[in-house]
Amino acid sequence: MRILLVAPPGAGKGTQGALIATHFDVPHIATGDLLRDHVARRTPLGLSVQDCLDRGELVSDEIVLDIVRAEVEAAKAEGRGYVLDGMPRNMTQARAIYQIARTLDMTAQVVLHLVADDDELVRRLLARAALEHRSDDTEEVIRRRLAIYQEVTHPIVEWYDQRGILVAVDAMQSVDRVGRQILTALEAMRPLIKLVPDSARQSIDLTGLGKAFGNH
């Protein structure tokens, strides 16, 4: 499976990305984790992006695209798919990753969009801050990350919707319920993905499922 996770900060990209990666035995490529690893190791790249990460601003497209290109090439060499978490973040990245993946015959088959309220996202990230001490988990920087998401990242969701490869999930439910809905949807789609061209597919909106069953 080749999956993109597009969602705001705190919606569960890392949590659900890890679950999907284990379930489908694909690498979990998380741009934020890869960048933070560079910062922790004080590599030249890490030193150059640290300020951006601390302030919640996006790192340059070239830097993240180089990182992701190498990771997708490695997945291809191993004959595996991927779950890509945190990329693309804007329209330039969306077009660029599509071109890179097309060259490798590795374009995404599903784009998972996790939907959650800002108040809940802030609550989750402040709760995480008490445990993990991420430099960007202060209330001010969290609000900045959410604003950037709304301004430049969320518009790409519409692009994937038009391409018919979007699956939207209600991320306000428990971690377990969100995970079960994602894996159920992906397992149901898996046999069809290979047979049905993108142009003949339609996006799927599962955000009403939780409410429909009255179980959050």
* Binding footprint of ligand AP5 on the chain (CB under 6 A): 7, 9-15, 31-32, 35, 52-53, 56-59, 64, 86-87, 89, 93, 124-125, 128, 136, 145, 171, 174-175, 178
* Among ligand AP5, Mg ion, none, residue 27 binds (CB under 5-8 Å by kind): none
When CB distances are held under 5 to 8 angstroms depending on the partner's kind, the choice from Mg ion, ligand AP5, none that residue 28 binds is none
| Residue sitting closest to Mg ion (CB) | 14
Query: 13: Cβ–Cβ under 8 A, 6 or more apart, which residues?
Result: 5, 7, 30, 85, 86, 114
14 near Mg ion (CB under 5 A): yes
Residue 7 partner contact from ligand AP5, Mg ion, none using kind-dependent CB cut-offs of 5 to 8 Å: ligand AP5
Residues 97-101: contacts with CB under 8 Å, at least 24 apart = 97/65, 97/68, 100/65, 100/68, 100/69, 100/72, 101/2, 101/72
Q: Which does 67 bind (CB under 5 to 8 A by kind): ligand AP5, Mg ion, none?
A: none
Site string for Mg ion, 78-117 (x = CB under 5 A): ----------------------------------------
In terms of Cα–Cα distance, which of 105, 107, 216 is closest to 160? 107
Q: In the numeric block, which tokens belong to residue 131? A: 């445990």
Q: Choose between 117 and 192: whose C-beta lies nearer to ligand AP5.
A: 117
Provide the minimum distance between the beta carbon of 101 and Mg ion in the complex, in angstroms, as a whole number. Answer: 21
What's the rounded Cα separation, in Å, for the pair 37 and 43?
9
